[in-house]
Amino acid sequence: MARTDAIVLGAGIVGTSIALHLAKRGLSVALIDRAGVGEQTSFGNAGIIEGNTVFPPAFPFDVGALARIALKRATEANYHLSFLPQALPWLLAFRAASRPQRLVETARLIRPLYARAVAEHELLMAESNAAHYLRKTGWLKVYRSTSTFTALKPEIDLAAQFSLPLQTLDTAGAQALEPSLSPVFAHAVFWPQAASVSNPLGVTRAYAARFAALGGVTLNGDARSLHRAGQRWRVETNEGGIDAPEVVVALGPWASDLLVPLGLKLPLMVKRGYHRHFQAQDNAALARPVLDADAGYLITPMEQGIRMTTGVEFAARDAAPSPVQFDRILPKARELFPLGERADDKTWLGSRPCLPDSRPVIGRAAGLPGLWLAIGHAHWGLTLGPATGRMIAEMMTGDAPFCDPAPYRAERFQ
């Protein structure tokens, strides 16, 4: 049996960033996944490093929007009816946390973590030969309806308080940034400090390669084999058992599979989402991610083509894919941008691991000595992976974390 200082369970962007940060501090680390590095949720996202986040995605209070979702006419959300009874307690908690005052509180609590997001990626990219994936071209959000745009005022005011730069643009101003967009929208907001990547899988793999270069070991194994072995934790892998005094759980949407049997029940829900890749017609191109806010989808340039990602789907994590949102959003997307043929024949499904207050859990698991949690990064796990890695590594090695860890404690749910 091999011994190591720390085991990280889950090699998505979150776990891989943690493993790399621990290895940088001189610990011997085993990173364990049952699949390949970065191949699950961290593979198919929209690639935005959204350090600007002010308000997290919230429950809609608008009666019209709710009615459209209920009638399955909404572009931004879908649901499986059979899943709703199970999801109801979580949805009510999410709704409570989405009230305007709570959103302002959340925005203030999460700002220090998000403020480090882009810089932390840049540090890891520089040492991992991954800087070529990074685009510091911002994020453009377009609004077809003036009322949706007007409703942004509280967020824009708060962004000013946080000194986050943004530009409100008319149609022509947005087209100056993205000439291939058609004028089907009336307003836009450009967030220049957001960044994005052209291949999220490439980024995670590059961080894993850097981890290996520092002596880190990546192994195949099932995290659910975790158990206490005396004063240490032990996991079975394809290379045999491995044990360590400290273990970090970074299993994304699968975290509960491990934690519930250990007696730790967190309100972890999934918001599923899909992507497809398209070619662009003629010379059409995008320089940055574009959110068609009223139509509820996003298009972004990736190495594979133009990646279109959907909004959310409330369904059991392991239920069969039901990518019906594409039927609703494709006509809208073709209005906005000259999408060509599909670039491949795949429809990707991923599950955003979400807690109802839109804050991840980062820190110790109370009552389980040596167990650390880094889960629930929801819509912004790519964004927060490296910042989470630094924070966990600082806490595990006895350094003061760069931001207050209190908002991220698991105990807030107990």
Q: Which of 6, 31, 251, 391 binds ligand FAD (CB under 6 A)?
A: 251
Q: Which residue, 185 or 254, has its beta carbon nearer to ligand FAD?
A: 254
**207 near ligand FAD (CB under 6 A):** no
Handedness of CA 190, 195, 199, 204 (dihedral sign): negative
Q: How many CB atoms lie within 10 A of CB 381?
A: 27
Are residues 180 and 228 in contact, defined by beta-carbon separation less than 8 angstroms?
no
Distance CA 392, CA 362 (A): 7
Taking CB under 6 A as the binding criterion, the range among 20-28, 57-65, 320-328, 376-384 that sits at the site for ligand FAD is: 376-384
Q: Which residue, 14 or 280, has its beta carbon nearer to ligand FAD?
A: 14
**57 near ligand FAD (CB under 6 A):** no
**268 near ligand FAD (CB under 6 A):** no
Beta-strand pair 290-292/139-143: parallel
Q: Which of 236, 383, 390, 391 binds ligand FAD (CB under 6 A)?
A: 383
Q: Which residue, 249 or 396, has its beta carbon nearer to ligand FAD?
A: 249
**309 near ligand FAD (CB under 6 A):** yes
Q: Of the candidates 4, 142, 115, 100, which has an alpha carbon nearest to the alpha carbon of residue 49?
A: 115
Q: Which of 29, 164, 194, 223 binds ligand FAD (CB under 6 A)?
A: 223
**295 near ligand FAD (CB under 6 A):** no
Q: Which of 45, 75, 98, 256 binds ligand FAD (CB under 6 A)?
A: 45
Are residues 171 and 183 in contact, defined by beta-carbon separation less than 8 angstroms?
yes
Tell me the backbone φ, ψ of residue 292, rounded to 5 degrees: -95, 90
Q: Give the footprint of ligand FAD on residues 322-361 (CB under 6 A).
A: 350, 352-353
Q: Residue 8 CB, nearest distance to ligand FAD (Å)?
A: 10
Q: How many CB atoms lie within 10 A of CB 109?
A: 17
**14 near ligand FAD (CB under 6 A):** yes
What's the angle, vertex CA 313, arms to CA 306 and CA 330, rounded to 5?
35
**363 near ligand FAD (CB under 6 A):** no
Distance CA 93, CA 95 (A): 5
Are residues 371 and 249 in contact, defined by beta-carbon separation less than 8 angstroms?
yes
Q: Which residue, 41 or 180, has its beta carbon nearer to ligand FAD?
A: 41
Taking CB under 6 A as the binding criterion, the range among 37-45, 91-99, 208-216, 237-245 that sits at the site for ligand FAD is: 37-45
Q: Give CA separation, 369 vs 23, 154, 250, 262, 363, in Å.
A: 21, 42, 17, 12, 12
Longest dimension (CA), the chain: 66
Q: Which of 47, 296, 305, 363 binds ligand FAD (CB under 6 A)?
A: 47
Q: Which residue, 38 or 145, has its beta carbon nearer to ligand FAD?
A: 38
Residues near ligand FAD, by CB under 6 A: 10-15, 33-35, 40-42, 45-48, 50, 222-224, 250-254, 257, 273, 275, 309, 350, 352-353, 377-383
